[in-house]
Every structure is written in structure tokens, then in C-alpha cells.
Structure 1
Amino acid sequence: MTAFDSQGEFSAAEWQRYQRHIQLGDFSVAGQRALKQSKVLIVGVGGLGCPAAQYLAAAGVGHLTLVDGDRISLSNLQRQILFTEQDIGQLKSTVAAARLLELNSAITIHAVEQPLTENNAGQLIACHDLVIDCTDNFHTRYLLNDLCHDNKKPWIYSSVLGFSGQLAMFVPGGACFRCLFPEVSEVPDCNQAGVLGVVPGMLGVLQALEAIKYIARLPGVIANQLAQVNALDFRFKTFNLKTSPGCLLCQGDAGPDNFRKDYQPVCSRPDAVDRGLGPAEFIARINQPGIRLIDVRSQVEHQAFNIGGEVIPVDDLIAAGLPSALDSDAQYLLYCQSGLRSSKAVSYMQSQGVDGVWSLSGGIAALLESSDDLQ
């Protein structure tokens, strides 16, 4: 019980908590009020989502919804700063929500313990004021883009790779993600190309910054602009985005129902052949007669850590073609870091008539997480 009762829209504790915001001339009470009344949807609680959610919770966004169906793994801790070693194996959205409530108990946080899909995306987007994309794949981004366009909701995109990243805010009436990326691109993710842990942290903070600026109606929001950041030489570049005359979504010639094929990775589509093996089955097959074990990562990755076999990077395998690189009559087990490159190699080999080929589902990451005895 305080020595006085607050009669305003902010409690005494809230007023004290946010006073540095309120003292800003361009921000003031109106900006803090707008944050308190806002509802923000964060899709993905990883390297981008952790810092974005942390700063938005600290800033006083009244309602945060965290969407993520993944569980915390050891490899996440290099960049996903809301989590600790004791959290490994737990759901990211649940742990993050609990941590953020410890930071600010005056706000509401809802954890959605499943990935964003066609089944839940429409309802989630419709009941929020702003959407922040903290995912790592194009398929979810197209789903977000199309449904945000359909619901006239702004959303903030960001992606990171290696030492660089980019972000943009797409607002109703302006250019959309399809104007920038008309077709699904096969861009390597962090599991394939790696990322310096602090880089997604930097981009996630910038997403939070743009969200706060937009909600509080501060100047300088990067609406309809693409910002690119290179962390090594600390260069920032911005490019104006314009609506593409060839964008079927912006021109009103198509909607979400017309783009459903873009919302699923190739490996999960109905016509895809499942050639993935779980860690236990994969290991059991390695020593069987006639098996060739192939690491489709780079030689450098193989030298750092491997589970045996020969090295044929996926791009080299495809460039060399068959049968010069491989024997179409042999049996093959392929692996990589996350299972993406090995799945790509399996698809290629199948298209070339190789039937006896399988991929390690989830890659080395899944293998390590499934076995405490593997060193």
C-alpha cells in the first residue's frame, strides 16, 4: 500500500517507471499512453525476438503476444539472451513470457506455444495493432505479409546473416514484402551460414525502436524503407521502397488464398517425398553394408565437428552432377547442421534417379540434443 492513491491513468509505480520517457518533449504522456494501450504480436522468440520483446516490455507496451513453438537448445544461447542453460528443453514462448513478466508485471503477456500457421495467423493478426516478424524463413514472412495486407496492419520485418542484417516496416497503403521479394528465395539461414550473436540482438533492438516510434507517433519511422546494417564496418544504408506494378497483392489481383503454396516449405508440401531419418535410426544405419555417409557442409565445418563420412558440400554435389560425383546404385546417408542442406541434396539426388538416399532430420543439432553420450 502506497502513501497515496494515484488518481491518473498511470499508477504511481508506472509513473516512476516511465518518467524518463515522459520527460521527452516529443514523447511525453501521450506517447506512453499509446504504448500502454497498444497490442503487439511478436512472431518468433529467437535472436531477434528476445531483444525486441525485452525492450518492448520494458517500454510499457500494454499487451505482448509471443508466438513460438520451438524449444530452447544449447545452440540458441549464443544469441537468445532471455534464456539460460537451465531453460534448455523448455518452450521458448513460455520461458520468455515468464522472464518478461519479471521485468514488468504491469503489462499483459500471452504465450502461444505453437508456430504461426494458416490456422492461427489470421485471428492473431486481426486482434493486434502491430506485428513484428522475428522469424528466420521466407514462408512465414509471406504469410505475415499477405494477412497483414488483408487486415490493414503494419508489420516490421528483419533478417540477419553472418555479420549483417536488414529491416523494413510495411504499412497499409505502401509497398509490401512481395514488392521487395516477388518470389520465394532460397537464402541460407543462420544454421547454414552462421551469425555473430550480437547482430540479431542489434536488429531486434532496432525493431523495438521502430515499433515504439510508430506507436508513439515519433518522427523518423522507416515506413516504406529498407535499412541495411553491416556490423563489421558499421555501415547503415537505407533504400526507399515503392509499390511494384507487378505485385498481384498490391494491385488487388490476388489475395492470401492465391498464395497458399508460399506458406509451406517444399519439404512439407503434400507432394514432397519424406526421406528424413530421426537421429536414432540414422545412427543405426551408418554401419550397415553398402552405406556411404556424406557431410554436405563445408570442409571447415566438417573439421570443426563431424560424425564421420566424406565431405561433399551440397553446392559442389549439385554442380558436379551425377554420376560423376556419386554412384546411383549405392545407398547414401547425408547430414548437415540443421537438416536443410541435406534435404536439398536428397531432393536433387532423387531427381537424378538416386532412390537410396536419406537425410538426418534436424541435422547435427538434433543429433546432439538427442544423445548425452555423443562427444
Structure 2
Amino acid sequence: MTELTDAQLDKYARHIVLRDIGGAGQKKLLDAHVLIIGAGGIGCPAIQYLSAAGTGTLTIVDDDVISLSNLQRQILFTGDDVGQAKVEVAANVARKINPDIVVNKINQRLTAQHLSDHGAAFLDGVDVIIDGSDNYQTRLLVSDISVRHQIPLVSAAIGQFQGQLGTFRGWEADKPCYRCFVGDALDPDDCDNCSEVGVLGAMVGLMGSFAAMEAIRVIAGFGDDTAGKLQLFDGLKPSMRSLNLPKDPACSSCGT
């Protein structure tokens, strides 16, 4: 386990003094590897906070380029970045936030071939996956990758003024996977498009920060185990509630 230097003891002091994280938890963060699917509205704040927290390695996957309409909610980017690859800019910003971390960038879209052992080579050493993608096809693929390779998944989604987040360990006998929650999604493109229905930028920031917190929970082990629970946030009220998700015995990914 990584030993903390004097500079790191100072840099991460506010984590270290937390009884439920402490020096041991911070060392786990420094040794951790988080895979982030999507450098958009959810991915941006997650990248920002995980970088600042001292997460040892971040791997960012996205094949999109920055557009002007992204700037309302994707807080790592500025007008000067329009037209550039999201992974390139996000990786550069992450390194500026924390020069001590390693940032890998994968400028491609996940496909079914990433389910194979050869295609999933980028999963080596990954401790937790954050999925901030915007379509069911990718979300279900990420869920299947999580189950196959037994990597905890933090999945976050938003729409208009609402957000939802869940942590999944579907390979465990009593825990559901994301596919247990949504089924097989007969129309993989059936997701709300924020260009059509709109989205509150601050809500995206809230859920991305929430996803970063849940990833840190998985790594450092603080607080309650939230696997199998769905957190629902309604920004109009505002209110938050938690649901226990059942495991589907007939699930095509993790069922018996």
C-alpha cells in the first residue's frame, strides 16, 4: 500500500481527519483505479472530485467532441475547447487538478467486443466503474462488463430536474445488477435526449459529484453498503428517496 508523503499528509488532511476514511482510506484511494464511462455532464464533476481526492489512476472513455451546448453543464470545458475530443481536454484538466495521478484516455465508444477478455484489456486493475453514459445500449453493456469481470458499478443518470444513482455488484448472490433494474431494454436507444427535453446543469453536477462520492465509498469503505439501492433525487420538490432493488433470478446477465 502506498505510503503517504509529508506533502500528501497536508494535501489530503481533510480526508485523513475523517474517522471513517483516515490515513488507511486515503492510501486506498492513492492505490485505486477508477474507470469512467463518459466525459459529459456526469463524468466531468466525477473526474474533478476523484482527481482532487487523489485517486491514483483514472481511465476516461468517450468518443465525443465538445460542442457549445455542452458548456451549460460539462464543467471541465470552456469555449476554447469546442471541437476538441472530450477525453483529451478532460485528461489535461484532471492532471492540472492533481499532477500526481495517472490519467488514461480512450477515445472510442464501448461496443460488444469489449465484453471479451481481449477487448476489455483496459479493465486491468480497475476497482470501480462509474457509468455516466446517456443511452441504454451503453449502460447495459457496462453492466454486463461489471458482472463478467466482478467490478463494482456506480451508475448515474439524469433527466430534466431528476437524477438517479445506484451501486451494483450483480455477481453476488443477493445483489442485483443494472440489467435487473431496467430489464433488457428492448429499444436500446429509448433514453430521454437532453437536447429535446432539457436538463438543469446543476442537477447534472449534483449527480456527478454523488457518483464520485459513491466510488470513494466503494474504495475506502466508509459508511453503509449502498449496493442494491437506488437513490432518486427530485430537484423540483426537492426531495431524495432510496429504493431497495430486487435481484431478478431470470436476469440474462446475473440471474441463476
Tell me the TM-score normalised to structure 1 length.
0.63
Aligned to 1:229: 233
Q: CA RMSD in A?
A: 1.4
Aligned to 1:176: 177
Aligned to 1:91: 85
The amino acid that maps onto 1:175 is P
Give the C-alpha shift of residue 213 in structure 1.
1.2
Give the C-alpha shift of residue 122 in structure 1.
2.1
Does 1:49 pair with 2:43? yes
Does 1:240 pair with 2:244? yes
Instruction: Give the distance between the partners of 2:223 and 2:35, measured in 1 at CA.
Output: 22
Q: Which runs of 4+ in 1 moved over 4 A?
A: none
Instruction: Give the distance between the partners of 1:95 and 1:119, measured in 2 at CA.
Output: 26
Aligned to 1:211: 215
2:128–2:218 contact (8 Å) kept in structure 1: no
Residues 278-297 of structure 1 mapped to structure 2, 5 A cutoff: none
Does 1:146 pair with 2:150? no
Higher RCO (C-alpha under 8 Å, 6+ residues apart): 2
Aligned to 2:76: 82
The amino acid that maps onto 2:14 is R
The amino acid that maps onto 1:132 is I
Instruction: Give the distance between the partners of 1:153 and 1:189, measured in 2 at CA.
Output: 28
1:52–1:205 contact (8 Å) kept in structure 2: yes
2:134–2:191 contact (8 Å) kept in structure 1: no
Does 1:70 pair with 2:74? no
Aligned to 2:102: 108
Unpaired runs of 5+ residues, structure 2, are none
1:27-53 Cα shifts (integer Å, max 9, x gaps)? 111100110111000000000000011
User: Relative to structure 1, is the Cα distance of residues 115 and 223 closer, same or farther in structure 2, using a 3 angstrom cutoff?
Assistant: same
Aligned to 1:280: none
Instruction: Give the distance between the partners of 1:249 and 1:210, measured in 2 at CA.
Output: 23
Instruction: Give the distance between the partners of 1:213 and 1:249, measured in 2 at CA.
Output: 25
User: Relative to structure 1, is the Cα distance of residues 122 and 149 closer, same or farther in structure 2, using a 3 angstrom cutoff?
Assistant: same
Give the C-alpha shift of residue 140 in structure 1.
0.5
The amino acid that maps onto 1:134 is G
1:37–1:61 contact (8 Å) kept in structure 2: yes
1:304-343 Cα shifts (integer Å, max 9, x gaps)? xxxxxxxxxxxxxxxxxxxxxxxxxxxxxxxxxxxxxxxx
2:160–2:199 contact (8 Å) kept in structure 1: yes
Give the C-alpha shift of residue 117 in structure 1.
2.2
Identical residues among aligned pairs (%)? 40
Aligned length: 245
The amino acid that maps onto 1:170 is F
User: Relative to structure 1, is the Cα distance of residues 138 and 126 closer, same or farther in structure 2, using a 3 angstrom cutoff?
Assistant: farther
Residues 1-375 of structure 1 mapped to structure 2, 5 A cutoff: 9-120=3-114, 122-171=120-169, 172-173=171-172, 174-184=175-185, 185=187, 186-252=190-256
Q: Secondary structure at the match of 1:9?
A: coil
The amino acid that maps onto 1:243 is K
Give the C-alpha shift of residue 221 in structure 1.
3.6
Instruction: Give the distance between the partners of 2:124 and 2:244, measured in 1 at CA.
Output: 27
1:73-104 Cα shifts (integer Å, max 9, x gaps)? 00000000000000000010110110111110
Q: Secondary structure at the match of 1:232?
A: coil
Q: Secondary structure at the match of 1:157?
A: strand
Tell me the TM-score normalised to structure 2 length.
0.92
2:233–2:241 contact (8 Å) kept in structure 1: yes
Unpaired runs of 5+ residues, structure 1, are 1-7, 253-375
Give the C-alpha shift of residue 180 in structure 1.
0.8
Instruction: Give the distance between the partners of 1:145 and 1:189, measured in 2 at CA.
Output: 21
The amino acid that maps onto 1:64 is L
Q: Secondary structure at the match of 2:147?
A: helix
1:3-62 Cα shifts (integer Å, max 9, x gaps)? xxxxx8122221110011111111111100110111000000000000011000000100
Aligned to 1:325: none
Instruction: Give the distance between the partners of 2:20 and 2:59, measured in 1 at CA.
Output: 27
The amino acid that maps onto 2:251 is C
Give the C-alpha shift of residue 126 in structure 1.
4.4
1:234-292 Cα shifts (integer Å, max 9, x gaps)? 2101100121122132224xxxxxxxxxxxxxxxxxxxxxxxxxxxxxxxxxxxxxxxx
2:62–2:106 contact (8 Å) kept in structure 1: yes
Specify the structure having the higher radius of gyration (Cα).
1
Instruction: Give the distance between the partners of 1:183 and 1:248, measured in 2 at CA.
Output: 8
The amino acid that maps onto 2:96 is E
